[in-house]
Structure 1
């Protein structure tokens, strides 16, 4: 680990000033410390923001409001969240390990860096870590890599289960900078790998996430998260499906579907949703809609199995949620 300076702030003003100057915040540290230890990240100065007042969970008739410093385990265990937004609770509980969930913040979870092994190996070529160096994953060990939203520059999957659930539920992220506050739909927050690979999200320098909101709706109670992985705990997804359905009068009135483990960003499936709305729940409806889940996929040498896997994962979760 390279030497670095460390400071704590207890006010929003101090945090913004420090962020504008140093640009690196830490809360739970479950991702950043790992990357610093592996010398992937080399910040000269780290600013601890745990003293800031972004720790509330509020559930109202309008929706859910969550402070960015709320811990994963706290949000997952909240009784109103479990009852009204089961998709969020399940996505959180299927992520990481119990110890990490007790430490990791909601804001930090959203800000996770790619989990590609070539990104974490400083001796490998990785455009995310060293723009212009190349992408060893494209022709290397790419079983875990993405098949959707990829480019010639990067094929790494986004690691956050929570982010997939937030995309499905139309969440909005609130951020604050020296110029004021902004609200960013989570769908627009994550950036696909283009020519500027260092831009993984739409945050500006020194701008921390303060909170996120999830709008209420008839679909939030009938929702859930399915994660398919090589082992049952402490493992990233091969494919995952976040599904929320509004079914009334024997007809699907609204559908929200997103997938993880297969794309460079949390991946919404609007064509799957369109294929569901107006249809009667049933095996044919679920199967026909799920067949669209991998549309546009570009498999690599070792991950073509993910095409069928994501289709089957979406179908299974549609059957589960649709049959509640």
Structure 2
């Protein structure tokens, strides 16, 4: 299946799940320890997949019931003495490189003088469809004190102005300040930091930082898109910091996210790439496993054109529900 076709199929899956009342990205389970270290990663490099590729593997893993979060190419499996099972189906991923050598998810704004970026595609298989791999390694657990220390260090290093005593969490772009209730009003320290990191994700979008559109009123499409980016970013930070994620606020945006997924399936992956930039910007320390192979190019790629998603998106736009949400003044 082509990348564009799979992206479209995954958008349909998300829409149907959201219609059932499930949160955006149903893999986001509040406080579930089993998901804390559940980042799709390549065992030959030890590194987690990023951006849209991460979302793609999350959803394929969920729909196929995979419990192993390791994904690697056919040749990588062979290189470690393993073999892909007969009849196993691969998942297409993409890798975008700019002429200056930057990967798309790590690149800043594309300059006018730059040539068109090149997109490569490669296929990976889940470890459950590969014979001969050793059991997956366990990620070390952290103590509550260690989690608090890391969260506090990340917030402090950002330089964000945080004002406590607010009635509800928010980020005010004009004042460039984060407002939070006092920590004792949250059910746990992890819950407090999860909310703080969500607002930090919004903070990163200020015009002096990553310059995202923060002008949309509550209920607008631009507001909903920003929420999708902030939710994905806070989830990534929650996974890396071991505090989990709470999707309980998704209900306010669910109809808009269904509409966005229906009309533009590619935005799910655009939002994921933007969320990775948020994590990089705030200096999130990434966990990596011990690689099974010495450092080398991570993927076997071929240069092909990106299939257009726009026409295909029209076929599922009717699936997305449309709703009117009350207006508000702050980015939550």
Shorter-chain TM range is: under 0.3
TM-score relative to the length of structure 2: 0.24
Q: Choose between structure 1 and 2 for higher RCO, CA contacts under 8 A separated by at least 6 residues.
A: 2
Q: Which has the higher strand share?
A: 1
TM-score (norm 1): 0.25
